[in-house]
Amino acid sequence: MEDCAAILATERYGSGESWHYVAKDGAMERRRDSSEAGPRGNLFVGVFKSVFLPQGYPESVSADYLQYQFWDTVQAFASSLSGTLATQASLRGVGVGNQEATVAAATVTWLLRDGTSMLGRIVFAWLKGNKLDSEAKKWRLFADILNDIAMFMEILAPFFPAWFTLIVCMSGIFKSVVGVAGGATRAALTVHQARRDNMADISAKDGSQETLVNLAGLLVSLILIPLVTDNPALTIGLFFLFTTLHLFANYKAVRSVVMETLNEARLAIMLRHFLRDGCVPTPVVANREEPVFLEFRKTLPIKLGVRLQEVVQSPEELRFALMRKDAPILLGFTNGCVRVCLAAHAHTQDEIRAMCQAIWLSDRLSSSRQHQGFWEMVHKSYTLMDSKFDRFYKGVEDAGWDVTRTLLDWDEWRLKWKPKMR
């Protein structure tokens, strides 16, 4: 208490430390705040946090960071051990330890596997690259499931010598998909976790965490390898054990993520809650209900930002679509899919409203199974949005959702229609 009057300044390091500068005998002395709870001066914990956690943790990251990273660490450790078993099987399959095997044959097999992997990476990025932002959780989990399938194929490949090259090439394709989907979705999750524009720091520390886990996996693998060599039953048994742990940890990891940006699944959950109960769920509630497995749709698919000819096929249909003069969107239904054209001047709020309208139409058309009166339902959807969207949008903002940007899967086509056609 005697020093309180002599305090010259106080400084903090995030939420971790608080220090006072006090005047004593004509000099300035730095002292830790005595009111702080918990252990003091724990050098090891401080060094560990600075090496493996982003600067400014926990304020510099999202609230779900620690829980996600815990389960991500568990899954990475299990995957590392499974990968060791798969690598051992692959090496045995290409002839390591077999005096009759040739270097040329092993090299050709490896080159074929790498070549098919490269092609698979290009094709998958072309076909599904635009889906990885909007459905990051689903593709993250899918990538890990596919990775386990690929490793299981590598373990089984030596038991089918005649098909070995084909099996490892298929495994290589699967792993190439894993590389694209896993890396891209990890980047999307890093965007979510970075709360101070510190994506690079979070990515770097994530790499340090993964390296530490792989080092631990390497040490355990040194113990496992002598046990599983020439013991296929133990190899497969341990693989299923590690795979079970890997998939469980991955499921818990993606379930722990609470994203505040709107994608189709989360927006559909919110809209259905609002239309049923009159309230908008918070990000925690909606993320808890969001599906994390790729699934066959029970509702009609929705395509956003399409060309005009995908929405209407005749001048008469265009006149039907333009009956709503002030709407910056056109909706249509072709080939079992609800399609939306977006005006060139539309902004983010218009995109959210268009998606809400398309979700409502998709639900109604899926339940009715009759699509003859589509244009009447389109105009009903406009009426519904006129009466409810403003209140819904305010509820979205009040619930803590980020409406400055979206993860809705819009294509790039934008439309300008002539006023005289209205």
DSSP secondary structure of 184-248: HHHHHHHHHHBSSS-HHHHHHHHHHHHHHHHHHHHHHHHHHHHHHTT-HHHHHHHHHHHHHHHHH
Q: Report which of 383, 382, 384, 401 is spatially closest to residue 393, judged by C-alpha positions.
A: 401
In this structure, are residues 330 and 340 in contact, taking their beta carbons and an 8 Å threshold? yes
Instruction: Report the alpha-carbon distance of residue 88 to residue 228 in Å, rounded.
Output: 9
Q: Model confidence over 182-227: pLDDT tens digits?
A: 999 999 999 999 999 899 999 999 999 999 999 999 999 999 888 8
Q: What is the pLDDT along the chain (422 residues), one digit of tens a residue?
A: 444 557 888 887 777 777 878 888 778 888 877 665 554 446 777 788 889 999 988 889 999 999 999 999 999 999 999 998 888 877 766 555 454 555 676 677 778 888 898 999 999 999 998 889 999 999 999 999 999 999 999 898 888 888 888 998 999 999 999 999 999 999 999 999 999 989 999 999 999 999 999 999 999 999 988 888 888 889 899 999 999 999 999 999 999 999 999 999 999 999 999 999 999 999 999 999 999 998 766 678 999 999 999 998 888 888 888 777 678 889 988 888 999 999 998 999 999 999 999 999 999 888 776 666 788 888 899 999 999 999 999 999 999 999 999 999 999 999 887 655 54
Question: Three-class SS of residue 337?
Answer: strand
3-class DSSP state of 354: helix
Q: Give pLDDT, residue 1.
A: 44
Separation between Cα atoms, residue 32 and residue 160, nearest integer Å: 67
What angle in degrees, to the nearest 10, is found between the helix axes of 65-93 and 136-156? 20
Start-end of CATH 1.20.1250 domains in the chain: 65-256
Residue 94: what pLDDT? 58
What is residue 29's predicted lDDT score, i.e. its pLDDT?
81
Q: What is the CATH T-level fold of the domain 65-256, as seen in this structure? A: Growth Hormone; Chain: A; (1.20.1250)
Cα–Cα distance measured from residue 303 to residue 407, given in angstroms and rounded to the nearest whole number: 14
Q: How far is CA 97 from each of CA 105, 164, 229, 320, rounded to the nearest angstrom? A: 14, 16, 11, 73
Distance CA 173, CA 194 (A): 32
* pLDDT for the residue numbered 102: 58
